[in-house]
Amino acid sequence: MKLTRRAMMMAAALAAVALPAAAQDYPTQPVTLVIPFAAGGSTDVVGRIIAERMAQELGQQVVVENRAGAGGSLGAGTVARAAPDGYTILMGTVATHALNPLILAQSPYDPVKDFAPVSLLIIVPNVLAVNPELPVKTVQELIDLAKEKPGELAYASSGNGTPLHLSGELFKSMAGVDIEHVPYQGSGPALTDVIGNQVPIIFDNLPSASAHIKSGTLRALGVTTAERAPSFPDVPTIAETLPGYETYTWNALFAPAGTPPEIVAKLNAAALAAVADPKVAERMDEFSAQIVGSSPEELAAHVEAEMAKWKPVVEGANIKAD
Q: For residue 185, what pLDDT is reported?
A: 84
Which pTM was predicted?
0.76
Q: Where are the domains of the chain?
A: 26-124+249-317, 125-240
Q: Which CATH superfamily is domain 125-240 in?
A: Periplasmic binding protein-like II (3.40.190.10)
Cβ-count burial 11-23 (b if 16+ within 10 Å, e if not): eeeeeeeeeeeeb
* Mean pLDDT of all residues in 174-194: 94
Q: Nearest-CA neighbor of 238 among 228, 223, 259, 219?
A: 223
The percent of residues above 90 in pLDDT, for the chain, comes to 68
**DSSP character at residue 236:** P
* pLDDT digit string, tens, across residues 42-88: 789 899 999 999 999 999 999 999 999 887 899 999 999 999 999 99
Tell me if 26-124+249-317 shares its fold with 125-240: yes
* pLDDT digit string, tens, across residues 196-244: 999 999 999 898 899 999 999 999 999 998 889 988 999 999 999 999 9
Query: Which CATH fold would you assign to the domain 26-124+249-317?
Result: D-Maltodextrin-Binding Protein; domain 2 (3.40.190)
132 preceded by a cis bond (ω within 30 of 0): no
Q: For residue 64, what pLDDT is reported?
A: 98
The CA distances from residue 133 to 163, 197, 207, 216, 306, in Å, are 26, 8, 22, 11, 37
